[in-house]
Amino acid sequence: MKVAVLCHASAGGSGVVATELGLKVARAGHEVHFVGSAQPFRLSGQGGMHGPYFHQVSGFAYALFEQPYPELAAANTLTEVMLEYGVELAHAHYAIPHATAAIHARAITGTGRVLTTLHGTDVTLVGAEPAFRHTTRHAIERSDHVTAVSRFLADQTREVFGIDREIEVIHNFVDSDRFRRITDPEVRLRFAHPEEALLVHVSNFRPVKRVEDVVQIFARVAAEIPARLLMIGDGPERPRAFELAQQLGVIGRTHFLGSFPDVETVLGISDLFLLPSSNESFGLAALEAMSCEVPVVAARAGGIPEVVDDGVTGFLREVGDVDGMAEAALRVLRDRTLYLSMGAAARNAALTRFSPALIVPQYLAAYERTIRQD
């Protein structure tokens, strides 16, 4: 198969999944072309004589254009790739602008199919915005095939847009060779003392992530046991979380690491992952923590219950229940037997339910079905 992949280049979940999937599809012997405004960060150093290949979308400054048109530019570049390389399928990760660009390129060339994968905010945030609602619905309805990363997101998409089309659920996957437990005590000493419990949160620090709840939970835990918190990522809510850590007197034990490039190392030495988000379409960061044998304490929201098995791989509490999440965190951290059991179960879930060996063939089968459509 010859496949073009349109995705965001950032370190967000959709870009990570799209890049890792494209790499695995290429390694399975298929020709893969990434199309985007910038090279996906996990694609760096991965290309070669036999691909995967990257094609950059060009910009254009014109006085009459009050704002850039990423969809049109992406459609133009994708059209060139489709015509030159005979691409059979465009896999668009995100409805806007990628699916709309792919649909436009399909109309221009009169060839190829479009498979759109919905990741979450393209439905819950961008898609719910009145300025994009009809465009997003059109992209979903006119795609040849649509997948979603969770049952929750598939159901929500049908509800939000009032559509009744097939949406195949294909969960995200995790590379458990990369995300695994690190037992070297010297690595852990870089971040915490041996007697301290190490809690971690990874996100883009948007309001939906409720990072102030993370700090509140940690403050309650730190009042009971020696503990340290690592906050990985950046975004608009980071200053508020930093100020709250100061107010609660835990700033000395709370470290804001920013967009830390080596997240697998931090997860590999951590004891507990916190994810109190008000909405998560899947929760990829939680899955990466689970792969490292790290139990998760999270909100019972969105697609998180499809990833975290309450009472088995972690604990789920209602959104905003800071006291309940702190109690659950202390329960895990104080009970060594429970902690080890949950960590082992979390790793097993990553290996058996969210393995690339299970998930990638589902995408390849979807590719083949979509290409063969009449």
Q: What is the CATH number of domain 2-173+355-371?
A: 3.40.50.2000
Q: What pLDDT digit, counting tens, does each position of 45-101 carry? A: 555 555 688 888 876 554 444 555 678 888 999 999 999 999 999 999 988 889 999
pTM: 0.90
Instruction: Decide if pLDDT at 374 tops 80.
Output: no
What integer pLDDT is reported at residue 68 of this predicted model? 58
- With pLDDT > 90 as the criterion, what percentage of the chain qualifies? 74
Domain ranges (residues) in the chain: 2-173+355-371, 185-352
What integer pLDDT is reported at residue 33 of this predicted model? 92
Do 185-352 and 2-173+355-371 have the same topology in CATH? yes
Structure tokens at 97: 């602008």
Q: What pLDDT digit, counting tens, does each position of 238-279 carry? A: 999 999 999 999 999 999 998 877 899 999 999 999 999 999
What integer pLDDT is reported at residue 64 of this predicted model? 41
- Between 38 and 207, residue with greater pLDDT: 207
Burial 132-165 (b: 16+ CB within 10 A, else e): beebbbbbbebbbbbbbbbebbbebbbebbeeee
Q: What is the CATH number of domain 185-352?
A: 3.40.50.2000
Confidence of residue 170 (pLDDT cuts 50, 70, 90): very high
Rounded to an integer, the average pLDDT of 127-133 is: 71
